[in-house]
C-alpha cells in the first residue's frame, strides 16, 4: 500500500478536509477510472473551482497530477511484480493508448516501462528485506511540475546545448 502525501492545509476547515479525503480515497480506490474535476467536486460536495484550489492546498498537488502519480505507481508495481504484457498494464491503470502511457511513463520516471521491467528483473532480489512503506516512498514519481512543463524544460535544455 502506498502512503498518501501529507496534508498541508493547517488552516482548512476539518469538514472540507474530510470531503477532500473522500475524493482522494475514491481516486486511490479506482485510479484506472476517469476522474475529472467535476466528478471529484461532486464527491466532495463543493464547486469545481473550490475543489481544485482546496485539493492542491491540502495535498500539494493538483487533482490531475495526484491521479497521474497513482497511475504511474500502480503501473510500476505491475511491471515489477507481474509478467503481464505492457499494453495490459497500460489499460488496467487507466490509459487509453499504449503510446500515451509509454511517453508519459518515460517523462515521469525517466525510463520506459520496458526499461523499468528489465532493470528490476536484473536487480538482485533483496527487496523483501525492505519495508513496503519505504519502497513505496522511494518509488513514488516526483511530479512537482506538470509533465508538459517538464517536456518544455528538457527541450529548452537540448536546444541550449546545441547552440
At 2, the pLDDT band (50, 70, 90 cuts) reads very low
Topology classification of domain 71-162: Arc Repressor Mutant, subunit A (1.10.10)
Do 14-64 and 71-162 share a fold?
A: yes
Please give the CATH architecture assigned to the domain spanning 14-64: Orthogonal Bundle (1.10)
State the chain's mean pLDDT as an integer: 85
Q: Report pTM.
A: 0.69
- In sequence order, the 6+-apart residues with CB closer than 8 A to the CB of 52 are 37, 41, 62, 63
> In this predicted structure, what is the pLDDT of residue 129?
65
Instruction: Give the C-alpha separation, 16 to 53, whole Å.
Output: 12
Tens of pLDDT along 78-99? Answer: 999 999 999 999 999 999 999 9
Instruction: Give the C-alpha separation, 85 to 128, whole Å.
Output: 24
> In this predicted structure, what is the pLDDT of residue 139?
65
**Per-residue cell: 68:** 497521474
At 67, the pLDDT band (50, 70, 90 cuts) reads very high
Q: Are 20 and 44 in contact (CB under 8 A)?
A: yes
Instruction: Give the C-alpha separation, 62 to 52, whole Å.
Output: 7
**162 has a pLDDT exceeding 90:** no
> In this predicted structure, what is the pLDDT of residue 155?
77
**CB atoms closer than 10 angstroms to residue 99:** 10
Domain residues of the chain, as ranges? 14-64, 71-162
Give the chain's radius of gyration (CA, Å): 17
Amino acid at each position: 500500500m502506498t502512503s498518501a502525501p501529507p496534508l498541508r492545509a493547517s488552516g482548512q476547515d476539518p469538514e472540507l478536509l474530510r470531503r477532500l479525503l473522500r475524493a482522494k480515497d475514491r481516486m486511490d480506490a479506482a485510479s484506472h477510472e476517469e476522474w475529472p474535476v467535476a466528478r471529484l467536486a461532486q464527491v466532495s460536495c463543493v464547486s469545481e473551482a473550490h475543489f481544485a484550489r482546496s485539493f492542491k492546498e491540502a495535498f500539494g498537488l493538483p487533482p490531475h497530477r495526484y491521479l497521474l502519480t497513482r497511475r504511474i505507481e500502480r503501473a510500476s508495481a505491475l511491471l515489477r511484480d507481474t509478467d503481464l504484457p505492457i499494453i495490459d498494464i497500460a489499460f488496467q491503470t487507466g490509459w487509453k493508448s499504449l503510446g500515451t502511457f509509454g511517453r508519459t511513463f518515460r517523462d515521469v520516471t525517466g525510463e520506459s516501462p520496458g526499461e523499468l521491467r528489465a532493470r528490476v528483473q536484473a536487480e538482485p532480489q533483496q527487496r523483501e528485506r525492505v519495508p513496503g512503506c519505504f519502497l513505496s516512498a522511494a518509488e513514488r514519481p516526483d511530479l512537482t511540475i506538470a509533465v508538459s512543463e517538464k517536456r518544455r524544460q528538457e527541450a529548452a535544455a537540448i536546444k541550449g546545448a546545441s547552440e
